Amino acid sequence: MSRYTHGQHRSVTDSYRWRNAANSTAYALDEMAPGRSLLDVGCGPGTITVDLAQRVAPGPVTAVDSSAEAVDLARATAQEAGLDDIDFQVHDAHDLKLPDDTFDIVHAHQVLQHVSDPVRALAEMRRVARPGGVVAVCDSDYSGMFWYPRLPELDAWMSLYQRVARANGGEPDAGRHMVAWAHRAGFTDVTYVSEAWSHSSPERREWWGQMWATRILESDMGRQAVAEGYATRQDLEDISAGWSRWSQDPDGVFVIPRGALVCRA
């Protein structure tokens, strides 16, 4: 199992709460029909899980994450939404302790980039999907991200993130590998689409830049980078200042390309 690069610091988990089915799972929403059973792999703080659960209701929903802390956050998110029938469990995506042929839909958002063996994880998702069911997965591609202005501090951030993520056993450019991974996992009916997030409006730019200005200093990524000699604390301070400067630039844009798969089991 790989190490989760971002960690569970509040600067990380809070930054995921803007995600919902519409902005993160648009490619697969047609599959989210009422009454279908759903497994959400790598549920994180649960905002997407809750949205999808409402779409497939009254279908049963199970949500898993390798982090017990994340599962607790997701359970609290569901309770806040008035949903007390989602089954939250702690599982490694490489080894789902769930029966074969169980779910109509298996969903994973921003998971494959963090696992040490994405093919094995996809094979596990295929195993627990019912015949005729769907495995829907989506991941970003870090090398495909672009931004303006091209500040050296953001270039340093990208280089550092790639180095730390790969040291942890992940593949930060997962978006471009997904079709190959799916084929190696045994899928033959695979549809690939691309989507993008844009953090380029004044409000989104301010939020995204200030979030990373904090996150680079306080999250597991920054602490690991210093502890393992990939960066100094001053390097992180410089990157943080660059993010703050970018967030205030009225010309600033930041775009995150994402690759998504709908695989028929």
Evaluate whether residue 5 is within a structural domain: no
Evaluate whether residue 3 is within a structural domain: no
Whether the CB-CB separation of 122 and 95 falls below 8 Å is answered with: no
Evaluate whether residue 99 is within a structural domain: yes
Q: Which CATH number is 111's domain given?
A: 3.40.50.150
Evaluate whether residue 172 is within a structural domain: yes
Below-70 pLDDT ranges, the chain: 1-2, 5, 7-15
Contacts of 192 (CB under 8 A, 6+ apart): 178, 179, 259, 260, 261
Q: What is the pTM of this model?
A: 0.94
- Between the alpha carbon of residue 129 and those of residues 10, 56, 187, 226, 240, the distances in Å are 33, 16, 12, 41, 42
Give the tens place of pLDDT for each residue, 173-202.
Answer: 999 999 999 999 999 999 999 999 999 999
Evaluate whether residue 1 is within a structural domain: no
Question: What is the structure's pLDDT at 262?
Answer: 98
Evaluate whether residue 113 is within a structural domain: yes
